[in-house]
A and B are shown apart, each in its own frame.
Chain A
């Protein structure tokens, strides 16, 4: 009980909550200014999310990659590094899963497991490249991430076009049915929504993330490096190998995003001119979730639901779904700049009751 009271009083809970409220309010103001009806818009957003079993299932499907992406960014964050290369790691994970799913012939369950592992491995290797470049050659991780994102995208195009082209379309051949990780009976329960094993693996990973960071030696080292790299080094930790390990984990989580999308949702890989954008959304999820597993779960759920519900907004209230993207960016703005919230609050509270230390 004491803990709950402490949590309610601390900034760490109010900043995200207030950011969300402010974001939704500003979104409403924007809609009003554009001549739309914000109440109808938010109403149709919520109706879309909870409208039918199918919608609930598809909302869950949308949430899975966002939570994973948030975890991928968060684990690097906690290690004091910035992974904006999740985009590329997703592509490599998709590619690995697609290759196993399409080019190998294995018995059902085993096929899916191998494909998941290979997808995670591809993402992990792609992620660890960033850390290797950083520790060996001093290359700024932001720039190598950006370059690797594009390189991954074009590698995937080349591989798909050379080995798995589906003639006449801009996508790959589908994976074999034996590699599918969709859960048929659960999908039927949700009116045909694409529910897959990834949904359960995510829950397991959220717990694993907490356990890894707080209960293992490797997690302790990771946090130590994140707090103070030099102190960690002085204490005898091998900062370079910790960085590579952290980026491998981060990349492997990124790879899983692509893996699940291929094996559980789409069954093929599109030859798209751009990467998915899920990796950048992960930065928002991690930030709003304060890099904790509960936080990432909640913020990933919020963003996933908002994205899915946005489709209902354009349908029900004729509001462009971009408004929701604006709302999300405003939420991140305030979550990233707590000082802005305090200023915002001061405008409403003329006399602060008590100075906060």
Chain B
């Protein structure tokens, strides 16, 4: 039983960053803007969280430091999501390319800043005040579930709450209806008086900041600094989770859990003797291979919002 509850706990730990990033992706893509820049948003989130937390704790903020880091991650990433919004909405650039530009720009400028701020160092100083697992009083003493779910990092709880919030906004409020309409048929939405480009811009900005929380989570829980290896491909996995989850916040949440599970499985399985004969790379490969197979054979044709990738041009029919 312990093994199983550890496995579930590990799943949530690994999945948290992906939940944030894929939620951010869902918000932008649902309004019709392809978001290949998730990786860049996560990089910028991890960077600004690590740097802000470092300065906050040097200034004597103590336990509040990582929270300041989280907020800074959301604010700083607006620069990059702003660039993506500007290029893909205002300038009608190819959205895939705009996303790749954001990735390149985020990676290069953050490492430039790290070298500038910390005298040529390759990573930010180690942070002392990172997030620690937090047992919810009462609930955490429930056998099995207490260890599995109710003893997690605060960021995990935030991510879970955010899933519910995004789902509610998207499916139960007029704003959500407008967002989805803009992604499906911007012309019709425009006729009905919805400001297409404004909604898209806000969606990309908000989505970017939420994705940044994913990067911040990695820097403030698993790692305790920001280096070149802190974010390596998680943004792309999150994008896969968006598509795997069929552009639905709950679906993306489920897909993120799946990726988290595959990662946790790798950690748990390595304890056993029978698993030692299997190359570790098989376990690394598993999440990607399983996603591919599931998408190929189980999910069926995945089609996103109809207007995904198309800049809105009012003059065009």
Binding site for B on A (CB under 8 A): 30, 34-35, 82, 84, 133, 137-140, 142-144, 146-148, 150-151, 154-155, 157-158, 161-162, 273-274, 280, 283-284, 287, 320, 322-323, 325-326, 328-330, 332-333, 336-340
Bound-state Cα–Cα, A284 to B233, Å = 19
- Chain B interface size, as a band, is 35 or more
Q: Is there contact, CB below 8 Å, between B91 and A339? A: yes
**Nearest CB of chain A from residue B190's CB, rounded to whole Å:** 20
A154 to chain B, nearest CB (A): 4
User: In the complex, what distance in Å separates the CA atom of A34 from the CA atom of B120?
Assistant: 12
Contact with A along B91-112 (1 / 0, CB 8 A): 1111011101101110111011
A274 to B234, CA, bound (A): 12
Q: Which residue of B lies closest to A323 (CB)?
A: B112
- Cβ of B282 to closest chain A Cβ, rounded Å: 7
Residues of B contacting A150 in the complex (Cβ-Cβ under 8 angstroms):
233, 284-285, 288
A-B contact pairs, 7 of them (CB 8 A): A148-B292, A158-B279, A283-B97, A322-B112, A326-B109, A329-B105, A329-B108
Name which residue of chain B comes closest to A342, CB basis: B91
In the bound complex, what is the Cα–Cα distance between A322 and B115 (angstroms)?
9
Contact status B108-A140, CB under 8 Å: no
Q: Which residues of A contact B240 (CB under 8 A)?
A: 143, 146-147
Beta-carbon nearest neighbor of B34 in chain A: A142
**In the complex the two chains form, is A322's CB within 8 Å of B295's CB?**
no
Partner of A154, one of B237, B284, B295: B284
Q: Which residue of B lies closest to A156 (CB)?
A: B281
B302 beta carbon closer than 8 Å to chain A: yes
A329 touches B92 (CB 8 A): no
- Given A138-B302, A150-B285, A337 contacting B98 (CB threshold 8 A): yes
> Is the C-beta of B232 less than 8 angstroms from some C-beta in chain A?
yes
Q: How far is the CB of A344 from chain B (nearest CB, A)?
A: 11
Contact B289 A151 (CB under 8 A): yes
Choose among B104, B107, B302 the residue with the greatest number of A CB atoms under 10 Å from its CB.
Answer: B104
Given contacts A273-B229, A320-B112, A322-B108, contact A339 B92 (CB under 8 A): yes
Q: Specify which chain A residues have a CB less than 8 angstroms from the CB of B191 in the assembled complex.
A: none
| Most B Cβ at <10 Å: residue of A154, A162, A274, A323 | A154
Q: Scan residues 273-317 of chain B and give those whose CB is less than 8 A from a CB of chain A.
A: 279, 281-282, 284-285, 288-289, 291-292, 295-297, 300-304
Told that A137-B295, A337-B93 touch, could you supply 10 new A-B pairs with CB distance under 8 A?
A: A137-B297, A144-B295, A150-B233, A154-B285, A155-B285, A158-B281, A280-B103, A287-B97, A323-B108, A336-B98
B288 & A332 in contact (Cβ 8 Å cutoff): no
Roughly how many angstroms separate A199 CA and B5 CA in the complex, as a whole number?
56
Whether B108 pairs with A336 at a CB distance below 8 angstroms is no
Of residues 102 through 128 on chain B, the ones whose CB sits less than 8 Å from some CB of chain A are 103-105, 107-109, 111-112, 115-116, 120
Cβ contact within 8 Å between A332 and B279: no
Docked complex Cα distance between A161 and B284 (Å): 15
If A322-B112, A333-B101 touch, whether A140 touches B279 (CB-CB below 8 Å) is: no
State A320–B237 Cα separation when bound (angstroms).
29
Q: Which residues of A contact B302 (CB under 8 A)?
A: 138-140
Q: Is the CB of B91 within 8 A of A340?
A: yes
